[in-house]
């Protein structure tokens, strides 16, 4: 195995599992996911820190509080509206709704609850406010090659049962 360690500018390949507080798997990647460490990746911050200084073959398990994972739950990102004001294709729990503010910035909101003719919409990540346990296996560490400046296979974590409608 290589003696290269995970540090900025190195190409790193990992597999990982993320579990919630109840031990439920919320995301698992057994196939290698590669990225250049220290570049703009979609790894959650605490996972990035946990693998620093590790080498191929190492396995790391770390508990991430909300601020190191998907942030605290922000009540200002939740609101309720009449179900009649919501287009039919978004009238189910888990539907993703892209909303745009006055500045033209878009944010994904989720239909969190439908009850008594009202719909609760939440702009927090579905795992916001939750402590997560992340298990990471470092598969490869090497010098990055030209063009390997972004992720190759890292995806955003989506909560179980949620769906995407654009």
The predicted pLDDT at position 124 comes to 94
CA distance 77 to 12: 35
Tokens 């540090």, residue located = 7
**Mean model confidence pLDDT for the chain:** 87
**10-70+127-143 CATH:** 3.10.50.40
**Measuring CA to CA, how many Å separate 157 from each of 55, 70, 73, 79?**
25, 10, 16, 23
**Taking the chain, what is the end-to-end CA distance rounded to the nearest angstrom?**
44
Q: Where in the chain is the domain with CATH 3.10.50.40?
A: 10-70+127-143
Tokens 């030209």, residue located = 146
Q: Does domain 75-122 have CATH number 3.40.190.10?
A: no
Q: Is 10 helix (H, G, I), strand (E, B) or coil?
A: strand
The predicted pLDDT at position 135 comes to 97
Q: In Å, how far from its chain's centre is CA 11? A: 20
Q: Where are the alpha helices (DSSP H) in 70-163?
A: none
Q: Where in the chain is the domain with CATH 2.40.240.20?
A: 75-122
Q: Hey, what are 135's tokens?
A: 């298990």
Tell me the pLDDT tens digit for each residue of 95-139: 999 988 889 999 999 999 999 999 999 999 889 999 999 999 999
């Amino acid at each position: 195995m290589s003696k290269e360690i995970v540090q900025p500018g190195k190409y790193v390949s990992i597999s990982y599992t993320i579990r919630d507080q109840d031990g439920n798997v919320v995301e698992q990647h057994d196939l290698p996911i590669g990225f250049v460490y220290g570049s703009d990746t979609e790894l959650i911050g605490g996972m990035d820190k946990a693998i620093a200084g590790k080498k191929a073959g190492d396995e790391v398990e770390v508990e991430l509080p909300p601020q190191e994972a998907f942030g605290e739950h922000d009540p200002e990102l939740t609101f309720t509206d009449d179900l009649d004001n919501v287009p039919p294709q978004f009238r189910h729990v888990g539907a993703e709704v892209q909303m745009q503010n006055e500045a033209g910035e878009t944010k994904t909101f989720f239909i969190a609850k439908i009850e008594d003719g009202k719909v609760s919409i939440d702009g927090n990540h579905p795992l916001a406010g939750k402590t997560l346990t992340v298990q990471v296996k470092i598969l490869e560490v090497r010098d990055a090659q030209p063009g390997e400046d972004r992720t190759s296979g890292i995806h955003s974590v989506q909560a179980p049962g949620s769906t995407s409608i654009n």
